[in-house]
Structure 1
Amino acid sequence: MKELLKASNWISGLQWLFFIFANTVVIPITIGAAFELSQGKVIFLLQFSFIAVGIACMVQALFGHRRAIMEGQSGLWWGVILTLCSTAAAQGISLETLGGSLATGIIISGILTIVIGLTGTGQYLSKFFNPGVMGVFMFLFGTNLIGIFLKGMLGLPFGNHSGKPSMNLPIALLSIIIAIIVIIISIKAPAHIARYALLIGIIIGWILFTVFFHSKSAAGEAGSFHIHLFPLGEPAFNVGIIITAVITGILNLANTFGALKGTNDMYQSETTKKQYRSSLTISGCFVSLSGVFGLVPFAPYVSSIGFLRQTQILKRLPLIIGGLMFVVMGVIPPIGHFFSLLPLSVGSAVLFVSYLQLLNSSLQFLKNVKLTTVTVYRSAVPIFVGLVIMTLPASTFDALPSLVRPIVSSGLLVGIILALILENVFPWDRFDFQKGDGNKP
């Protein structure tokens, strides 16, 4: 009780609240825009996301991995879903079929995650996600999300839109200024101020946006809470989309492994089998829930590593407090509506800075991989192939069968799959020699 009454814990909880909020609020709004949902469904996605994410953070901190790691809607899933939305028309798939098939695949992947958690196989699966795989995952994951946030900073629309939208110059300039302010505070300010750089950036950015622009809610007017089952589309069975969803669900385990392994040094302990089992079981339950209610599926947030390094808030209590306040925001529509007024460009600018830390996480993993002129291919192939695919238009893959097209068109998925194959199939230790040194594999 004494700890609960400390002002420092509530201030840190407020920092967590805004970090959770900034990482969450843009997701349901962009998904609603990508699927062209009605105003009522977007409001539901927003409010229910607040409730579900807040509860998930508290449950994980109390009964799951028991670390100060945000549990929320997965950036990997978010990127894949937005990519599928942008390529659906080119592949002849309606948004309703896409949403319904995703719901089916997400529920299946959630059940698989629960099974992996209950059986305790998560610890063994984590061995496949060695430093080489995690380094590639962090790099491509960061690149994919940085691209989404940069798009938001430039004022560009999400999803599949006709025509050639151009950047909104005033909004882009303000977003860049906000990002620079957050970086300067993080680098130059004293430690007790720098830890609140994200919160300060959101407040300053929100005020500046309100002064220079007329901020309008992307979710409409506040109203009563109406539950919508399968808001993205009734369950459907496009095999290609379902397979893509199941594979994404398996690869989404990398978020759990990355977040837990990435915080081992901060907590000065190795993740135990019990922590993997509890964390994966809880995540799997929320993933299945996501399929029913049209949310982006859940996972521990790898970006929490950057947040923890930046703020040094390692105790669980502030996260629990932040999660509880986030639930309240979702339960009380006017509060949720007020915070939905946060401009996407401001949230994107702050998250842009936060996710830059993933480059550091990637390099930390790759430090444990010995790269020579021969073994460099284990990392170079998945990174460069994944990056190139991210830049290609959807029509590039029209010649491929519809069954594999959703997977191959995602540079993030292809890169991670290549990394898993190259790291776990090829005996790189045997190839660890320099040209001309006389050693042979």
Structure 2
Amino acid sequence: MNKFFSSLTMVSSVQWVFFIFANTVVIPISIANAFQLPADIMAMMIRASLIFTGIACVLQGWKGHRFPIMEGHSGLLWGVILNLGLSASALGMSLETIGGGIATGVLLACVVTILLAVFGGLSILQSIFNPMVMSVYLFLLTFQLIFIFFEGMLKITENGSIDAKVSLYSLCLALLVAVLKVKGNQVISNFSILIGLLGGWAGYVLLFGNESGGMAQSAPFTLFPLGQPNLEMGIVVVTFVAVLLNLSNTFASITSAEKLLQRKANKKDFRSSMLITSFFSIIGTGFGLVPYTPFTSSIGFLQSTRIYDRKPFFIGGALLTIIGLIPVLGAFLSMMPVTVGNAVLFIAYMQLFGTAFSSLNGREFNSNTIFRLAAPVLMGISIMNISPAVFSELPILLQPFVSNGLIMGVIISIILEKIVNWSAYEELPVKRGKAS
């Protein structure tokens, strides 16, 4: 017991708590704002998110894929749900109708995923999400997260300009975390994320004061706060397809963890992971939460900390659930400045680029086969940098897909892998004869 609760394990556990919390809390807040929910319902969603995210992490590490990979709200589906919520007026629907359609789409997709997992559909999914598609996904996820966290660390004022002092502080904090990671001794390097979050928070309060008022009084737990499930088929289909595409996250996360932790996952691990993800997505949807997925970005965190033991991960997940059960603790952590969390995560997720690069396994490309990687990645990045308003003339239910660079990049990659025989374009090695 003493060994399990060693000081190193407990500090590592606290680092996991802050990492999971920083990746979680902003998502229910943004969804509640997009669907114009009152503050007490938002607070309820935050508490539900912390409680179920903590439990999901523990179960995934214990009985699911069995890696220390955070189980959290899908970034891909977060974008789709936000897009649908913000498009309510253009769709001519109420927010409750859209929210109910989203709930139906998620529930149906989770049922299909469970059936695929139980009745041997894993091989079908693996043939769709092959190693090249996974590499494309990892590259695009890296760019998407870096864009999000870079923008988040720069504080924008109400008139649209940058708050120079806070933004400069965030940049200096990011640089400090990078230096601690690279130049610090093993202990400092391993805990550079925690040092950055706690030290950055303290420094922010000293320099700029505490601008957050904490978390509002939580309402009682309420089912389907976004809207009761319905059969608004356009919304249902969009959400259904997005949830199935989100399965690419599961395969990318587990495959990347296999390489980092040097342990091969078997079919049971994949199947158990999909079942747990679907189970918590169903529960989370009942409380207005974005569906769950294993966080591929956890690989960047693991590479930064170099602490691969599952015990801190289990304890961190359990502590997060306790925080959700005790409102005052969640209120306290919610006071962490958003710019501080984004600055530290910006450095942590830089490691994910290395994961994407190594996923290619040293594959070499020629002037023809480079399109296999370059076309979906560069198209996806290009779409990420285009305002969604550009696509406003397209059918409204196509816009969540076409305006999402991550989704479009993965779709393009899947199509290219299915219609092109890339091996026919690979150059044969030139045989060199002996010099005469």
TM surpasses 0.5: yes
2:25 counterpart SS class: helix
Contact residue 44 and residue 218 of structure 2 kept, 8 A: no
Structure 2 CA distance, aligned partners of 1:15 and 1:220?
22
Aligned twin of 1:160: none
Contact residue 58 and residue 314 of structure 2 kept, 8 A: yes
Which residues of 2 match residues 285-324 of structure 1 at below 5 A? 285-324=279-318
**Where does the alignment leave 5 or more consecutive residues of structure 1 unmatched?**
158-162
1:72 counterpart SS class: strand
Structure 1 CA distance, aligned partners of 2:396 and 2:131?
33
Aligned twin of 1:170: 165
Structure 2 CA distance, aligned partners of 1:435 and 1:87?
53
Cα distance per residue 1:52-84 (max 9 Å; x no partner): 000001111111111211111122222333344
Contact residue 114 and residue 283 of structure 1 kept, 8 A: no
Structure 1 residues 378 and 412: alpha-carbon distance in aligned structure 2, compared to 1, 3 A threshold = same
Aligned twin of 1:144: 144
Cα distance per residue 1:189-235 (max 9 Å; x no partner): 112211111111111111122112232436534x3552122222333
Aligned twin of 2:338: 344
Using the TM superposition, name which of 322-331 and 308-317 deviates more: 308-317
Structure 1 residues 227 and 430: alpha-carbon distance in aligned structure 2, compared to 1, 3 A threshold = same
- Let me know the Cα RMSD of the aligned residues: 2.4
Structure 1 residues 375 and 42: alpha-carbon distance in aligned structure 2, compared to 1, 3 A threshold = same
Structure 1 residues 305 and 398: alpha-carbon distance in aligned structure 2, compared to 1, 3 A threshold = same
Using the TM superposition, name which of 292-301 and 74-83 deviates more: 74-83
Aligned twin of 1:112: 112
Superposed displacement of residue 168, structure 1: 2.7
- The answer as to 2:244 corresponding to 1:250 is yes
Contact residue 239 and residue 403 of structure 1 kept, 8 A: no
Contact residue 35 and residue 85 of structure 1 kept, 8 A: yes
Aligned twin of 1:214: 209
2:57 counterpart SS class: helix
Aligned twin of 1:261: 255
Contact residue 264 and residue 270 of structure 1 kept, 8 A: yes
**Where does the alignment leave 5 or more consecutive residues of structure 2 unmatched?**
432-436
Using the TM superposition, name which of 342-351 and 120-129 deviates more: 120-129
Structure 1 CA distance, aligned partners of 2:95 and 2:139?
30
Aligned twin of 2:367: 373
Cα distance per residue 1:326-359 (max 9 Å; x no partner): 1110000111111111111111112222222221
Cα distance per residue 1:88-132 (max 9 Å; x no partner): 555555543332322222222222222222224235422432232
Superposed displacement of residue 282, structure 1: 0.5
Structure 1 residues 137 and 327: alpha-carbon distance in aligned structure 2, compared to 1, 3 A threshold = same
Aligned identity (percent) is 39
1:274 counterpart SS class: helix
Using the TM superposition, name which of 403-412 and 118-127 deviates more: 118-127
Aligned twin of 1:392: 386
Counterpart amino acid of residue 151 in structure 2: K
Contact residue 90 and residue 396 of structure 2 kept, 8 A: no
2:312 counterpart SS class: helix
Superposed displacement of residue 388, structure 1: 1.9
- Which of 327, 332, 336 matches 1:333? 327
Contact residue 79 and residue 144 of structure 1 kept, 8 A: no
Counterpart amino acid of residue 113 in structure 2: T
2:336 counterpart SS class: coil
Contact residue 50 and residue 320 of structure 2 kept, 8 A: yes
Structure 1 residues 410 and 241: alpha-carbon distance in aligned structure 2, compared to 1, 3 A threshold = farther
Contact residue 240 and residue 406 of structure 1 kept, 8 A: no
Contact residue 90 and residue 394 of structure 1 kept, 8 A: no
Counterpart amino acid of residue 12 in structure 2: S
- Which of 386, 402, 420 matches 2:396? 402
Counterpart amino acid of residue 37 in structure 2: L
Contact residue 181 and residue 190 of structure 2 kept, 8 A: yes
2:72 counterpart SS class: strand
